[in-house]
């Protein structure tokens, strides 16, 4: 059952995803969470790093789609008119994400999901039947009780995942994994 929450790849951040990664894995569509995946909850606007990543995806021929459990206003700040998005997605539920994918004519076999949480993002990816890229949270959110408990449980699952697929926590189930879990 724990394996249900295992990502296909784990990176320190989206900036740590190597150049050519998406092409090598046949990924033409990337569905991404926003908060603590691309930026911290405190960032009101896309950061220069996030904007550079958006540009990199475009240059690599990858279409970015955003799926967030946050509000319409928050999501639209990041998506504007150009990036397909769904707000109040209800992850790990997938209904709203599937509707967006259908509308954008996204092929499941050319898609991956990127997020920072196992119990929402990873589970949504598994329910969609697409590979999951887990990134380390941008900001430590353990100070909030609910996130602290959730992150502690996620940490246990990640340790088991990395132990199984990597002696030195470098090689994951489908790719590179992170050495630092904290």
Residue 151 included in any domain: no
pLDDT given for residue 42 in this prediction = 87
CATH code of the domain containing 119: 3.40.50.1000
pLDDT given for residue 5 in this prediction = 76
Q: What is the separation of C-alpha 133 from the centre of its chain, rounded to a whole number of angstroms?
A: 5
Residue 1 included in any domain: no
Torsion from C-alpha of 16, 18, 23, 29, nearest 10 degrees: 10
pLDDT given for residue 165 in this prediction = 63
- Judged by DSSP in three states, 119 sits in helix
Give the pLDDT confidence of 125-151 residue by residue, as tens digits. Answer: 999 999 999 998 887 655 556 666 666
| pTM for this entry | 0.83
Classify strands 29-32 and 9-11 as parallel, antiparallel or unpaired. Answer: unpaired
- Residue 76, phi then psi, degrees to nearest 5: -65, -30
Maximal CA-CA distance, the chain: 44
Residue 58 included in any domain: yes
pLDDT given for residue 73 in this prediction = 94
CA separation for the pair 153, 157 (Å, rounded): 7
Residue 165 included in any domain: no
pLDDT given for residue 168 in this prediction = 43
> What's the Rg (C-alpha) of the chain?
15
**Is residue 112 within 8 Å of 27, Cβ to Cβ?**
yes
Residue 177 included in any domain: no
Structural domain containing residue 115:
13-139
Regions in the chain scoring below 70 on pLDDT: 1-2, 140-151, 165-182
What's the number of domains the chain is made of? 1
Task: Count how many residues are written for the chain.
Answer: 182
Residue 150 included in any domain: no
98: part of which helix (H) or strand (E)? helix 95-103
Residue 124 included in any domain: yes
Here the tokens at position 60 are 């690599």
pLDDT given for residue 32 in this prediction = 98
pLDDT given for residue 75 in this prediction = 95
Residue 182 included in any domain: no
């Amino acid at each position: 059952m724990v394996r249900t929450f295992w990502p296909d790849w784990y990176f320190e951040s989206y900036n740590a995803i190597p150049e050519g990664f998406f092409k090598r894995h046949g990924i033409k569509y990337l569905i991404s969470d926003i908060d603590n995946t691309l930026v911290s909850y405190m960032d009101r606007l896309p950061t220069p790093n996030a904007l550079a990543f958006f540009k990199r995806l475009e240059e690599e021929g990858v279409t970015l789609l955003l799926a967030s459990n946050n509000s319409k206003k928050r999501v639209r700040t990041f998506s504007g008119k150009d990036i397909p998005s769904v707000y109040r997605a209800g992850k790990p539920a997938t209904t709203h994400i599937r509707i967006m994918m259908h509308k954008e004519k996204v092929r499941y076999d050319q898609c991956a999901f990127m997020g920072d949480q196992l119990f929402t993002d990873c589970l949504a990816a598994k329910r969609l039947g697409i590979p999951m890229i887990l990134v380390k949270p941008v900001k430590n959110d353990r100070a909030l009780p609910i996130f602290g408990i959730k992150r502690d449980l996620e940490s246990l699952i990640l340790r088991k995942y990395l132990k199984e697929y990597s002696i030195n926590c470098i090689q994951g189930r489908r790719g590179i994994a992170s050495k630092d879990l904290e």
